[in-house]
Amino acid sequence: MDRLELPAVQWRRVSSKLVTVELLGWGIVLIAVVLAGVAMSLLGIWWLVVVFGIAAVVAIVNLALTPRRVRAIGYQLREDDLLFRRGIMWQRFVAVPYGRMQLVDINRGPLARVLGLSELKFVTAAASAGVTIPGLTEAQAEELRDHLVSVAESRRAGL
């Protein structure tokens, strides 16, 4: 079986504002974990202090890796499909054929909306093949949604 050859096309990146959204999310988690750990230490429940300490370390590592993880997210619009990638150590590449797309959805959380960001989600017939591209500007998300819907309709009509 031949290996998937990735074209030498430039990957389209998500907005760098996604770093801010992710950092704020993990920062809130870290603050909650530290406060819970302090409360457990005041109550004298030391085994829970250790658990919250481990959770705090995990949150700090995620905070440190967030900028690199966001830079690793990208997508390509190819002739027959959309290729999506993410991940630093465990890289994931997903090719979603245009003709298999059943739903293209735009979501905007409160913090992302303040920063003008959206996430685009495609759903295919296979439940495990859903792909979400986070960190697109609102204009990018709407333009990409419209493009994917029109291409998907034309590909399905040609089946």
pLDDT in tens, the chain (159 residues): 555 565 566 899 999 999 999 999 999 999 999 999 999 999 999 999 999 999 999 999 999 999 999 999 999 999 888 999 999 989 999 888 888 888 889 999 999 999 999 999 988 877 666 789 999 999 999 999 999 988 888 876 555
- Confidence at residue 1, expressed as pLDDT on a 0 to 100 scale: 52
Q: Give the pLDDT score at 2.
A: 56
> Residue ranges per domain, the chain?
17-70, 74-157
Element housing 131 (H / E): strand 131-137
Question: At residue 140, what is the residue type?
Answer: Q
Q: Which CATH number fits domain 74-157: 2.30.30, 3.40.1130, 1.10.287, 2.30.29?
A: 2.30.29
Structure tokens of 15? 């907005």
Q: How many Å apart are CA 121 and CA 141, to the nearest integer?
A: 10
Sheet holding 117-124, edge to edge: 101-107, 117-124, 131-137
Contact call for residues 120 and 106 (beta carbons, < 8 A)? yes
pTM: 0.81
- Determine the Cα–Cα distance for residues 13 and 83; give it in Å rounded to an integer: 12
Q: Cα(129)–Cα(93) distance, rounded to whole angstroms?
A: 11
Exposed/middle/buried for residue 18 (C-beta within 10 Å: 0-12, 13-18, 19+): buried
Distance CA 123, CA 106 (A): 12
What integer pLDDT is reported at residue 28 of this predicted model? Answer: 94
Instruction: Specify the pLDDT at position 6.
Output: 57
pLDDT for the residue 159: 54
